[in-house]
């Protein structure tokens, strides 16, 4: 049984010889391991191998045993313009799939380095599979050589976001920006902004409000709507009709409260809003974290025809009309 398994692994080019007495790479190509050199190389009159002459040109030589890697809607440019041996060693390698180098190093030999020298690299970039976690090395039916459309590709790993989106389908809210693709807000390889965001967003939940810190949000939303303590109806629908108070200003900018300057403790957007999806309207999150002990304070928001009501949160039930 063990011999049969070893044979199958050898046929796939995945047979490890690290413990088989070979002073060689951990993975050996089956024809090389079995000394069947003339499967690929031409032989001279004496039966000796001619090392620089082959029975066919690449990739036809490789396709004599391996399935074709061509025919995709989107083909890897390197695959079309190069030889299989530019990425794969035809004899042996210490890398899985007989690669000439570790995945990331191999890809960076042609592509610009991505996800490096950034504060927040995307985890797959530094994983063992690196680039091929998200990109097909030979080709794909989807742009950027992804295994699927971009959102399903991301949600395959980001299960918590997928669960929130599924829960929001009935009666909840899914952020419209998601329809444009995750890459609208996130850099897929890494970023100097938290959560691999393309643009700025505060790293802490409390911070002094500055428009420049919220470029992720203000790429679509108007930042000026937060700067005025009083707000016209055209500026914000989250306002108190009687007093004209801009309720976004009170929550995010804060300013003077009961004679105390609270502007240093402004609350970020994510304090009240879930960036992807939620079961409540206006992307109001179901709870927000309080302190560092993992304690959450529940939020219950009820949208009305001309405003809304917020209860079970950091203050007693309060309603507003715009």
Residue 102, pLDDT > 80, answer yes
**pTM for the whole thing?**
0.82
Residue 4, pLDDT > 50, answer no
Q: Quick one: 270 and 204 in the same domain?
A: yes
Find, among 80, 50, 54, the residue nearest to 68 by Cα: 80
Q: Quick one: 173 and 317 in the same domain?
A: yes
- Looking at residue 233, its pLDDT comes to 61
Q: Residue 81 — very low, low, confident or very high, per pLDDT cuts 50/70/90?
A: confident
**Rounded Cα gap, residues 322 and 305, in angstroms:** 10
Residue 80, pLDDT > 90, answer no
Q: How many domains does the chain have?
A: 2
What integer best gives the mean pLDDT of the chain? 87
The DSSP output letter for 68 is: P
**Structure tokens of 139?**
């080709």
- Looking at residue 24, its pLDDT comes to 62
pLDDT tens digit sequence for 279-308: 999 999 999 887 777 788 899 999 988 899
Q: Quick one: 174 and 315 in the same domain?
A: yes
Domain-embedded: residue 153: no
Find, among 262, 260, 251, the residue nearest to 229 by Cα: 251
CA distances from 27 to 10, 20, 35, 90, 172 (A): 8, 11, 15, 11, 52
Sheet strands (E) in the chain: 15-16, 27-28, 41-43, 49-54, 74-75, 92-93, 120-121, 139-140, 173-174, 190-191, 256-257, 260-261, 277-278, 287-290, 295-298, 300-304, 307-311, 318-321
**In angstroms, how far is CA 111 from the centroid of its own chain?**
18
Residue owning tokens 């909840």: 172
- Looking at residue 13, its pLDDT comes to 43
Q: What percent of the chain stands above pLDDT 70?
A: 91
- Looking at residue 219, its pLDDT comes to 92
**Structure tokens of 214?**
């919220």
Domain-embedded: residue 88: yes
Q: Is the bond leading into 59 cis (omega within 30 degrees of zero)?
A: yes
Lowest-confidence range among 146-155, 230-239, 266-275, 299-308? Answer: 230-239
Higher per-residue pLDDT: 235 or 15 = 235
**Mean pLDDT, rounded, for 272-276:** 95
Q: Residue 41 — very low, low, confident or very high, per pLDDT cuts 50/70/90?
A: very high
3-class SS string, 182-204: HHHCECCCEECCHHHECCCCCCC
Gyration radius of the chain over CA positions = 29
Domain-embedded: residue 246: yes
- Looking at residue 9, its pLDDT comes to 43
The DSSP output letter for 7 is: H
Point out which residues pair with 260 in neighbouring strands.
257
- Looking at residue 301, its pLDDT comes to 94
Domain-embedded: residue 164: no
Q: Which structural domain, as residue segments, surrounds residue 263?
A: 169-321
- Left if phi > 0, otherwise alpha if psi is -120 to 50, otherwise beta: which for 162? alpha
223 neighbors 200 (Cβ within 8 angstroms)? no
Domain-embedded: residue 51: yes
170 neighbors 101 (Cβ within 8 angstroms)? no
Domain-embedded: residue 105: yes
pLDDT tens digit sequence for 122-156: 999 989 899 999 999 999 999 999 999 999 999 99
- Looking at residue 232, its pLDDT comes to 66
Domain-embedded: residue 202: yes
Q: Quick one: 120 and 199 in the same domain?
A: no
Domain-embedded: residue 208: yes
Lowest-confidence range among 31-40, 155-164, 200-209, 227-236? Answer: 227-236
What torsion, rounded to 10 degrees, do the Cα atoms 130, 134, 137, 138 define?
170
Residue 20, pLDDT > 50, answer no
Q: Residue 227 — very low, low, confident or very high, per pLDDT cuts 50/70/90?
A: confident
């Amino acid at each position: 049984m063990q011999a049969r398994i070893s044979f199958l692994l050898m046929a796939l080019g995945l047979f490890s010889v690290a413990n088989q007495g070979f002073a060689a790479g951990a993975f050996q190509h089956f024809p090389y391991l079995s000394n069947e050199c003339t499967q690929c190389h031409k032989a001279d009159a004496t039966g000796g191998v001619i090392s620089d002459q082959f029975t066919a040109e690449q990739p036809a030589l490789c396709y004599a045993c391996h399935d074709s890697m061509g025919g995709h809607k989107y083909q890897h440019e390197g695959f079309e313009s190069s030889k299989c041996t530019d990425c794969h060693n035809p004899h042996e390698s210490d890398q899985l799939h007989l690669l000439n180098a570790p995945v990331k190093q191999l890809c960076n030999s042609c592509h610009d380095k991505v996800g490096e020298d950034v504060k927040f690299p995307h985890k797959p970039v530094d994983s063992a599979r690196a680039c091929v976690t998200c990109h097909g090395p030979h080709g794909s039916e989807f742009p950027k050589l992804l295994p699927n459309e971009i959102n399903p590709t991301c949600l395959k790993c980001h299960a918590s976001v997928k669960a929130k989106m599924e829960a929001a389908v009935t009666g909840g809210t899914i952020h419209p920006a998601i329809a444009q693709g995750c890459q609208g807000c996130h850099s897929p390889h890494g970023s100097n902004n938290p959560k691999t965001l393309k643009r700025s967003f505060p790293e802490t939940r409390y911070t002094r409000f500055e428009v420049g810190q919220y470029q992720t949000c203000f790429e679509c939303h108007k930042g000026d709507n937060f700067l005025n303590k009083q707000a016209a109806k055209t500026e914000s629908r989250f306002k108190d009709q009687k007093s004209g108070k801009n309720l976004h200003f009170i929550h995010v900018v804060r300013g003077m409260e009961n004679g105390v300057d609270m502007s240093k403790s402004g609350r970020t957007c994510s304090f009240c809003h879930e960036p992807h999806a939620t079961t409540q309207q206006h992307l109001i999150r179901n709870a927000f974290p309080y302190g560092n002990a993992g304690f959450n304070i529940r939020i219950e928001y009820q949208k009305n025809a001309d405003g809304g009501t917020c209860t079970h949160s950091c203050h007693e039930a309060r309603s507003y009309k715009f």
